[in-house]
Structures are given as C-alpha cells and as structure tokens.
Amino acid sequence: MCGLLGLVCASEDDATKARQAVGAAMHCQRHRGPDESDTWADGPVVFGFNRLAFIDVERSHQPLTWGPPESPARYTLNFNGEIYNYQELREQLIAEHDATFATEGDGEAIVAAWHYWGADTALPRLRGMFAFLIWDAEEQVLHGARDPFGIKPLFYAAGPQGTAFSSEKKSLLELTEQLGISGALDTRALQHYLTLQYVPEPETLHLDIRRIESGTSFTVAPGGELRTKRYFVPRFDAQPVRDATESRQLHERIRDVMRDSVGKHMIADPDITVGAFLSGGIDSTAIAALAKEHNPNLIAFTTGFEREGYSEVDVAAESAAAIGVKHVIRTVSADEMMDTLPLIVWYLDDPVADPALVPLWFIAREARKHVKAVLSGEGSDELFGGYTIYREPLSLAPFEKVPGGVRKLIGKVSSKIPEGTRGKDLLRRGALPLEERYYGNARLFRDDQLRGVLRTFDPSAGHQDVTADLYASSTGWDPVSRMQHIDLFTWLRGDILVKADKVTMANSLELRVPFLDHEVFRVASTIPLEEKITKETTKHALRRALADIVPGHVLNRRKLGFPVPIRHWLRNEMYDWARGIINDSATDALLDKPAVLRLLEDHRAGNLDHSRRIWALLLFMLWHGIFVENRIKPEIPEPQYPVLL
C-alpha cells in the first residue's frame, strides 16, 4: 500500500523538465507512504514512489528493477497494493522458468510473472489489490494494470508533453503545465456526481484527468496514445441448488473460501500488526472472527455517534466480547465533522457524498495509533446480495404483469402525487423497467430535481451514460444479479472503495478487503437467486455459511454500517455552518444558490428530508473552494509515523 507516480514523456527533454515538478507532485501524496520515498528516471520515463512497507521491509524498495539473467535491468516496477499469493507465484515461476529473485517481496513476483507468462496469463493469477506500472526498457513501452474490483486507485492525464499516472489526482494537478493539460471542470461529471453521489469511472471532476478502470490493463509508448484492455469481466453465473445437500455444500464452499481469503489478507512481516474494523453487521464480525484465528491479539475498531439509532457501538462491543478481541471505540461529534470536513475533502480528490466517510476517517485515525493495516467488510453486499434494495424486484413483481400502456399510465399518475406522499415512489418505480429505475445503490437528484439547482444541466447526461452498456452485457440474468452487476461497476468502485482507500490512506493506514478476492467471487457468482434474497432476509447463503463463526445476535441483524445523523444535524447543529458554505461558495455559474438555500430552509422546516442532496452540494462547494477557487486551504498535517504500534 503506497503512492505511485509515473510519467511517460514525449521526449527526454520533456522528461528533464518534468522531473523538476515531481517533488511537489509526490509530496501531495506523502500520507500514502511515509516509510520511504524515492525517484527513478530512464530516458523519457520518470517514476516516483512513497512507500508504506509491509513485506520484506528491509529490501523490497521501489521503484524496483528486475529482469531475467540475460537482461537483469530490463523492467522497472512502480506498484501500489498487496499480492497475497505472491509466495505461491514465486514458487511456480522458479519451478517453471528457473526465475531468480533478489528480494522476499511481492513486487518481483508481478514483474517475473509478466515477463514469463505474459499479461493475459499473469493478471488473472494475481490475488490481491493493485495498481502498477512496468517500464520495459528494451521495448520502450510502459505497461500497467489495476486490480479486478478497483480497490486501488489509478488516475492518469494525457497531454502533448506526455502521459502521467498517479495514485492521487492532486499529484497530477501539480503537473498540468508539464503535461500541457488544463484544469477545466467537467460539468457532465458534476451532473453524474449529483445524480449518483460520486463521480463514476473513468470520469473525474477535472476534464483532462481520468481514471484507469478496474480490471483493466494498458500500454503507452513515449509520444504514443494510451491503449487499454479489459482483462476481468465479472459474470454472475448462478448454479441451481436442487436439494438440502447441495445447499449445505454451497455454504461449506463459502465458509472455506472466506477462511482462506482472510488468512491470505493477514500477511505481513512479523513485527507488523493487522487489525479489523467492526460494525454491528455480519460482514465485519465474520472478518474479525476469522482474523482472530491468525492473530489471537487482534484489535477491532468501531465508531459511532452519541445519538440513539446512529451508533452500532453497543452491538459491536457485544460482538467483540463474544469473539474475544480487544475493542477500541471512537465517537464523533457534529463539531468534529464540521471542523474536519475540508481536510477530508482535500484527501478525497473528488467529492464522495457519502456521510459515512467522516466517521470512517476518525476511526482510521484512531486505528493507526495501534495497527498499520485493518481488514474490513467492503464488497460483501455486492457479491452475496446484501442490500435491501435487492429485494425490490420481489415487491415490484406485480407491476411486471401489468401491460406496458397501463404501466405508463401509473407513472403519469405518480407524477401528480405530491412529494413525500406515501406510495408515490413505489408507483413511480413500479412503472419503470429495471434498466430505467436502477442505477446503483445511491440515488440523489432526479432529472426534474436537478433542473432546479444545476445551471449546466444537460438532458443528455443521464445515468444511462454509466449503466447502458452494463445492462446490455447482463441480458438474460435474473434481476438481482443484474443489480449486483451494476453495483460492482458503479457504487462499489465509485463510492465504497474510493472512500475506503482515501480516508484510510489519509492516515497512512492500509485497508484490506477479504470479500473482494477473485476466489471468493468465483464462489459467490454461482449463488442462485433463492440463496441470496428471501422474503425475510438478504445474503441468505452467506448467513448460513457463517452461522458457526459469528455470534447469534449478529447473524440475522441488518447492519447500519457507519450511519451519520446529518438529517438532524442539518436542521440544528450544522444549519449555520451549511448556510455559510453556500453563501461563501463561488459556484454561481454552476449552481442556483438561492435554490440550494431553499432546499436547506425546506429541510430545516421539516417539510421533506433533503439531507443527502444538501450534503452532496455542500461537499461539492467545499471541493470547489479548495481545488478551483483556492479559497479554502486546509492545513495538511505531515504524517506522524510510526504512530504508536
């Protein structure tokens, strides 16, 4: 887990000029790797690396040069992440090709696999999270890839002077002059953000900076164009379960693969401690219980608020006691959120309007005082069918039997019903086919609502931009599998994994996600619909598989995650703060600020709950104040490392 930076310039002269800006660009992401920092250059290529060390700490420095015996300096690697099966890969490479290694780390396994097996064979064998660059000095080509699910970020910017890659977008903003790119805002991406609560891949809010998509490899030569190739295409291929014996066997496979994945994710040098985040749900509790099998002294971390209904601290404490782990709790106040939010937005690169990222930031900061890495339960809901919204096809099934003309009429009737009226949204959504009504787990502004606040509203920039091809590739699947497919490419990699990576790495803490493992996905993708969603529960098969691992009080409990009481706070403690952000923001050309203020006043009056939409607008205004206006200047702390271990 680290921060990488790589430039492939059009010429050596461009590279020489760019090297002068690399220091500032690397300093922007120093929090990602405070253990050590280094740069490397070869002709038109410049690499920079900030390391957070876990494996072979003393020798596996980066950028790392490796090659076969006949050409020992052919490749240079810049790698962010962890390869959990690197020892098996090294053994295979030695047995098959007599490969040689100078370190005990996972980085050399990537390069050797790339050399001996080629990208098409090597990439599917990498079990882990990664974003990496490999410069081939003989072929004069830069290769790279990002992990299948998008756990680790990789931004890029291409201009007339070259192409640059980085773990943080803010580092690329330091190189706009050297690359010959602009800092223009992408208004289409802004519209997508206000619809989805995150900026979907491959977009960012800067027009000339994009993201390498999850499960994608790429090549670029000096002065050439970036060429990408998707190497991982997730497919849900449900296998029928014919009787109780086959159902039990499925549950055993799930339990076995989860135990194996958690064991792999505990890997680190002996003096490095791995902990776990713990909420009140089955996912994090199972991870912590399985992790304790490898570390009897495991520490679990929980955050919450001093408001009834917005804290899982008590449930998590009961779970921690039941599985026998030390438990650290951090509560967060409204004042702390308001004071810290500009700093968090700076770390995010682009706004993510998920309020849960704030308590996650505080618990990451607390965890870093005790451990260097944590395990977490991200990905379980997408793989095993855990979101309550996945039960919607059951509730809307009667609408599927209604003729198309009648469904359209139902939609028109729903539009006449006043906002906030019970049943309005059910009728509206029931009138729509799945492809139109479902575009991910978060739905903020509808088009009719956006027209009232977004001055740059473009009727052609809808959620279909993001989901149309995904639906086309899942034709014939059951509706829940199609919704999971949408979320794997949208909500998971746009919201869940972005906030998880950014706020943990802001505190120099590595977050590992055992559910997002390709062996786990291999099993999860075969689960039939009736083993995912029932009338009573979600994640049915996973709950049965983990029945002997998690405490009974958690097994069938619906988790809250990290719930945040912004609905209440925006009416009270946060009202003046929010109004000040809106009034001070220089976003008049983009947003109708009087309309935004009316939303806030309407929410305060209790007429409707606009909290999530207001929150999204506030985060964008803070982002704009930091990255566009340069008016808001958070004080960026130097990483204090090592923190108490």
Residue among 346, 376, 318, 308 nearest 622 (CA)? 346
Given the residues 1, 2, 64, 546, select the one marked as catalytic. Answer: 2
Chain length of the chain? 645
Rg (CA), the chain: 24
> Can you list the positions of beta strands (E) in 34-174?
36-42, 45-51, 64-66, 75-83, 128-136, 141-146, 155-159, 162-166
Q: How many CB atoms lie within 10 A of CB 609?
A: 15
Would you state the structure tokens that stand for residue 402, as one six-digit string? 């209604």
Is residue 245 within 8 A of residue 33, CB to CB? The reply is no
**Residue 111: is it exposed, middle or buried by C-beta count within 10 angstroms (0-12/13-18/19+)?**
buried
Residue among 30, 19, 11, 7 nearest 133 (CA)? 7
Is residue 287 within 8 A of residue 373, CB to CB? The reply is no
The CA distance from 224 to 221, in Å, is: 5
In the 8-state DSSP scheme, what is residue 608? Answer: S
- Phi-psi region at 385: left, alpha or beta (left = phi > 0; alpha = psi -120 to 50): left
Our CA dihedral for 243, 248, 253, 254, rounded to 10 degrees, sits at: 110
Quickly list DSSP for 334-347.
Answer: HHHHHHHHHHHHHH
Binding residues: 106, 376-377
Measured CA angle at 74 (ends 4, 45), to 5 deg: 45
The CA distance from 335 to 574, in Å, is: 8
Would you state the structure tokens that stand for residue 593, as one six-digit string? 């600020």
> What is the distance between the terminal CA atoms of the chain, rounded to a whole angstrom?
18
2 given a catalytic annotation:
yes
Is residue 316 within 8 A of residue 300, CB to CB? The reply is yes
Is residue 194 within 8 A of residue 616, CB to CB? The reply is yes
Quickly list DSSP for 479-547.
Answer: HHHHHHHHHHHTHIIIIIHHHHHHHHHTTT-EEE-TTS-HHHHHHHTT--GGGT--SS-SSHHHHHHTT
Measured CA angle at 563 (ends 490, 516), to 5 deg: 40
Binding residues for L-glutamine: 106
What are the distances in angstroms from CA 251 to CA 39, 256, 478, 527?
A: 48, 9, 21, 10
Binding residues for ATP: 376-377
Would you state the structure tokens that stand for residue 198, as one six-digit string? 């995150």
Is residue 379 within 8 A of residue 516, CB to CB? The reply is yes
Name the residue with tokens 């009727």.
459
Q: Which residues are catalytic?
A: 2
